[in-house]
Amino acid sequence: MDQSSSLKFLGSWADSHTHRVRLALELKGLVFEYQEEDLVNPSPDLLRHNPIYKKVPALLHDGRAVVESLVILQYIDETWTDKPIMPADPFERAIVRFWCHFADDKLGPAVGLVFSSVGDGQKAAVDGVHENLKLLERELRDGAFKGRRFFGGDNIGLLDIVLGCGSYWLAVFEEVMEVKLVDPDTFPLFHAWLRDFEEQKEVKETIPPIDKLLKYARGIRQMMLSLSTDTITTIIGAPATGNTTSNNDAAVEEIGLLQESIVL
């Protein structure tokens, strides 16, 4: 593959949106330079290239920045057209885009809520994940993705990348939170797809080792639990019932940023 242009990408090692971009670049066989970003202290580079959101990932192609992971993935696919990750058929493309939106709009936040839930809220959060996984399982069983190995068909496609890069958090949260999220009996097809996805060469090269992710998640969870109950409700988004100290405010911000990286 001819790649005469320069590619650099700013990301963060535990951020699932960063993994999406890395996986797409790897699948396309592209050569790129990577710059690790501290989520809490973005570099001047990142602030310059993503002034609106100030977040990873940011892809720099010949110095021009593309940000927002779904925008980046489509950009990569439309610029380097070998080994396409989007289907050719317009209706299939619409289906992929729809479920990508679902991943970011419904499933991801539901998974994030499990991680930030405390006490009685945890069961409701787990139920929320199950409700959303049911929708995907149904599509795999009877709907748009019936009979397929991957969402993209025989090969990993854009939707596999979007769903897959973040689904590892399901296993991590199962362990850290001691909950069951992907029961192979309830979600056999999703479970099988996820195991297959995680075995792929480029995926193994992209996703960090599970023990590193576990340690990271445990650290954030401990930070959260060490704060007051009021502060935790602030993180979850419910109205706080009391005052938080300025130390708590900084910790809340940090946890919020770190948590955002842990989404499907």
Q: Which of 131, 206, 132, 193 is nearest to 165 (CA)?
A: 206
93 binds other proteins, rule: CB under 8 A: yes
- When binding is defined by CB under 8 A, the residue of 32, 54, 79, 191 that contacts other proteins is 79
Question: Measured between alpha carbons, how far is 76 from 205 in angstroms, rounded to an integer?
Answer: 19
Q: Indicate whether 141 belongs to the interface with other proteins (CB under 8 A).
A: no
In angstroms, the CA 12 to CA 94 distance is 29
Instruction: Tell me how far, at minimum, the Cβ of 50 lies from other proteins, in Å.
Output: 10
Q: Report the C-alpha gap between 247 and 167 in whole angstroms.
A: 32
Least CB distance to other proteins at residue 97 (A)? 5
By beta-carbon proximity to other proteins, the closer residue of 64 and 201 is 64
Contact region for other proteins (CB under 8 A) — 74-82, 159-167, 173-181, 200-208?
Answer: 74-82
Burial of 167 (0-12, 13-18, 19+ CB in 10 A): buried
Of 75, 202, 256, 257, which lies in the binding site for other proteins, with binding defined by CB under 8 A? 75
Binding flags for other proteins, 191-210, as an x/- string (CB under 8 A):
--------------------
Question: Which residue in 52, 147, 178, 243 binds other proteins (CB under 8 A)?
Answer: 52
Q: Between 15 and 139, whose beta carbon lies closer to other proteins? A: 139
- Name the one range near other proteins by CB under 8 A: 25-33, 66-74, 169-177, 254-262: 66-74
In this chain, which stretch among 41-49, 100-108, 153-161, 218-226 interacts with other proteins, using CB under 8 A? 100-108
Q: Which amino acid is at 150?
A: F
Burial profile 18-33: b = 16 or more Cβ within 10 angstroms, e = fewer:
bbbbbbbbebbebebe
Q: What is the distance between the alpha carbons of residues 155 and 78, in angstroms, rounded to a whole number? A: 18
Is there binding between residue 1 and other proteins (CB under 8 A)? no
250 binds other proteins (CB under 8 A): no
- Output 147-151 pairs: Cβ under 8 A, ≥24 positions apart: 149/193, 149/196, 150/193, 150/196, 150/197, 151/96, 151/99, 151/193
User: Cis omega (within 30 of 0) on the bond before 184?
Assistant: no
Q: Which CB sits closer to other proteins, 138 or 191?
A: 138
Contact footprint for other proteins (CB under 8 A) = 52, 61, 64, 66-68, 70-72, 74-75, 78-79, 90-91, 93-94, 97-98, 101-102, 106, 135
